[in-house]
Amino acid sequence: MPEERPTPQIYFVPTPIGNLGDITQRAVEILSSCDLIACEDTRHTKRLLNHLEISKPLVSFNAQSEERKTPELINKVQSEGLTLAVVSDAGMPAISDPGQRLIQVCLTEGVHYTVLPGASAVLTALVGSGFPAHHFQFGGFLPMKKGKKQTLMLKATEADHTSLFFESPHRLPTALSLLSEVAPDHPVCVARELTKMFETYHRGTAAELNEYFSQHPPKGEIVLIIAPNSYKIPTKLGDNH
């Protein structure tokens, strides 16, 4: 007979990336039944919990405090027997968000955990871009330095897979300018405000999107998608609002 899995002590729970209706029923159940919730921004998570009519103790667990708070959370689970849910402000914990360090300590300390499926800006942007989705690479946030940023994007244009990166709205024009210098005709997509009211997918060449966003400063959360080197732009091309 298969070995019975231990009951998880820590749950990594994805939260909506924009539309609150995208929370899963299982996520709601875990957030309702856990003893403590570790989150990036307690004010942000409090708004979600209020929407769900859930009241639970919250502890801040962000990029600056993850190293310091991880032993404390492990102790609460092991010594106090608490059930912990870990959330980020949006999407899947540990994907360009806190959580990875905590998982590593769970593995070394024998703390049982599970990861719930749910909203992901990476997969949503990948599918919505229309670029090949069978082979892709997620590179996290683009580097701050222009040289490293341009080198990384140039490699993406030469790859045989679709590449995705997070970028802040105020840095996107610089990224597109750098990309248009080295690969002006390469197909690119900028996915913005995914699942929200003003969600848009801007598709075109690097040069076209560079020109557009230089005149229309972007706002909101952004995913930059670079097509593989073999991808050809369809005859009819336009924005999907």
User: Domain residues of the chain, as ranges?
Assistant: 10-115, 121-226
Indicate whether 87 pLDDT > 60: yes
The DSSP code for 3 is: P
Judge contact between 207 and 241, C-beta under 8 A.
no
Indicate whether 241 pLDDT > 60: no
Instruction: Give pLDDT, residue 104.
Output: 95
User: How do residues 221-234 score in pLDDT, each as one tens digit?
Assistant: 999 999 999 998 77
- CB neighbour list of residue 111: distance below 8 Å, 6 or more residues apart: 9, 10, 74, 77, 78, 105
Q: CATH classification of 121-226, choosing from 3.40.50.2300, 3.30.950.10, 3.50.50.60, 3.40.190.10?
A: 3.30.950.10
User: How do residues 136-164 score in pLDDT, each as one tens digit?
Assistant: 999 999 999 999 999 999 999 999 999 99
Q: Is the backbone of residue 184 left (phi > 0), alpha (psi -120 to 50) or beta?
A: alpha
211 class by beta-carbon count within 10 Å (0-12 exposed, 13-18 middle, 19+ buried): middle
Of the pLDDT bands very low, low, confident and very high (cuts 50, 70, 90), residue 97 is confident
- CB neighbour list of residue 232: distance below 8 Å, 6 or more residues apart: 187
140 class by beta-carbon count within 10 Å (0-12 exposed, 13-18 middle, 19+ buried): exposed
The pair of structure tokens assigned to 205 is: 């060449």
- CB neighbour list of residue 125: distance below 8 Å, 6 or more residues apart: 164, 189, 191, 194, 223, 225
Instruction: Give pLDDT, residue 63.
Output: 87
Give me the CATH code for the 10-115 domain, please. Answer: 3.40.1010.10
